[in-house]
Amino acid sequence: MFYSISLYILLARIKVSKIVVIVSDILENIYFFGPSILVFIFMLTLLVIAHELGHFWFARLMGMKVEEFAVGFGKPCFPIFKKNGTLFTIRAWLLGGFVKIHGMEPMDDGSEIQVKDGFYSKTPLARLLVLFAGPLFSILFGYFVLVGYFFYQGEVLPSQDNKLGYVGANTPAEKAGLQEGDVILKINDTEIEKYIDIIKITRTHAGKLLKVSAIRKGDIFHTEITPQLDPTPTPVISDNLELTDKLMQQGKIGAMWSVVHRKISLSDAFIKGYVETARGAYMFAKVFTSFQKAKENLGGLGSIAAITHQATQQGIDKVVYLSAMISLSLGFMNLLPIFPLDGGQMVVAFIELCRGGRRLSMKVQNIVATAGFGLLFLLIAGSLWNDVERFSSGIFSSKKPNVVKKD
């Protein structure tokens, strides 16, 4: 009896200690990731509002009745207000949103075209413009955020010194205890004067242990680092820290060079915003040129959340830039000709425009919808799989760096 009670008390203590550890870990993660989670939710909500505003304003412009403008999904928490027949609501899950346009549900008998002030009662051109407005507003929002970002930040130019810039999470540089702002003095027996000197050594020493001497806040310290080989060939960096057309597999430490900011005029900021938007469109298109590109660049909410966390740690300016790039990606993604994305529905509207306004049969609509949902499912599944692989491989890990030795 005594042993049974003692064993019971021991097991109870073990369970309580495990619960304490679990609760402690949860609280620690909430404290560590809490600000990033709030930034992530706020950022996505803002981007969705910008996207849906395009649909909303153009629907009203085309004489369509908008029943609801919702921020979030799930059950409505509470209505904000009602204006001109549109109910503005906030819903339980703030990870999206939608605009509910009157008469947007196709009917078997085609009667949707007779719904007064309904979506399908308007011409195919009007419907096409309403569908296009969402991606357009996402792209415009991203563009103008970039303009503000460049006007405030100025032109970002690579510094030619030997100081580290951003250090990625769970990279060889972070594992070696290196931090942004560290000045690299020597690698093995080679004196370091410019950042390109670091690149030239590490690119040819993948998998090899290197001894590093650096200075941080006036203190010299020593550490060891092993550059990691790129899985695929990447562009070689020139002596001016610019990308070249030459590709090779290189050893990398996961750190960037430091940068300097040069103030620019508002007109130059508009030009820089345009160039960055065009570059974003080009990079997005490249994702779908090969399976390897898609595997490297596609990601779901998990990847976005992890990148948001990294940006939050680097400062508000990085969050602003990330918001602009995600907004651009949201716009480009919705232009893909896949039903039920805006681009897929635009294709249907364009076909009906070419048919003189005649609706496609319900059978054809069902085939298009089924094929589109299948492709969309594969796209989402691939993105989620990429998220799982990235998290399982520790790409988005936030482990503490190793302790370095000081002189």
Q: Could you report the per-residue pLDDT of 339-371, keeping only the tens digit for each?
A: 888 999 999 999 999 998 888 888 888 888 888
240 shares a domain with 286: no
Confirm whether 297 is domain-assigned: yes
Is the distance from CB of 50 to CB of 138 less than 8 angstroms?
yes
330 shares a domain with 281: yes
Is the distance from CB of 37 to CB of 320 less than 8 angstroms?
no
Residue 198, number of CB atoms within 10 A of its CB:
22
309 shares a domain with 359: yes
Confirm whether 290 is domain-assigned: yes
Residue 397 scores a pLDDT above 90: no
| Res 405: pLDDT | 53
257 shares a domain with 236: yes
Q: How far is CA 175 from the centre of its chain?
A: 25
Q: Give the chain's end-to-end CA distance (angstroms, integer).
A: 61
Is the distance from CB of 349 to CB of 308 less than 8 angstroms?
no
Domain of 343, in residue numbers: 123-154+266-407
CATH at residue 195: 2.30.42.10
Confirm whether 237 is domain-assigned: yes
**Tokens 């991203």 belong to which residue?**
142
272 shares a domain with 258: no
pLDDT-derived band at 22, boundaries 50, 70, 90? very low
How many domains does the chain fold into? Answer: 2
pLDDT digits (tens, 9 = 90+) for 98-116: 999 998 888 877 788 888 9
Confirm whether 110 is domain-assigned: no
Residue 396, number of CB atoms within 10 A of its CB:
18
402 shares a domain with 276: yes
Q: What are 81's strand-pairing partners?
A: 88
305 shares a domain with 254: no
Confirm whether 62 is domain-assigned: no
Confirm whether 2 is domain-assigned: no
332 shares a domain with 289: yes
What SS3 state is found at 96? Answer: strand
184 shares a domain with 287: no
217 shares a domain with 189: yes
Q: What are 93's strand-pairing partners?
A: 73
Lowest mean pLDDT among 49-58, 150-159, 198-207, 378-387: 378-387
Is the distance from CB of 256 to CB of 218 less than 8 angstroms?
no
Is the distance from CB of 241 to CB of 196 less than 8 angstroms?
yes
Domain boundary residue among 210, 233, 262?
Answer: 262
What does the mean pLDDT of the chain come to? 83
What are the backbone dihedrals phi and psi of residue 78, each rounded to the nearest 5 degrees, phi first? -165, 150
272 shares a domain with 256: no
CA-to-CA distance for 31 and 39, rounded, in angstroms?
14
What SS3 state is found at 125? Answer: helix
283 CB contacts (<8 Å, ≥6 apart)? Answer: 297
pLDDT digits (tens, 9 = 90+) for 302-335: 777 777 777 777 778 888 998 999 999 999 999 9
246 shares a domain with 184: yes
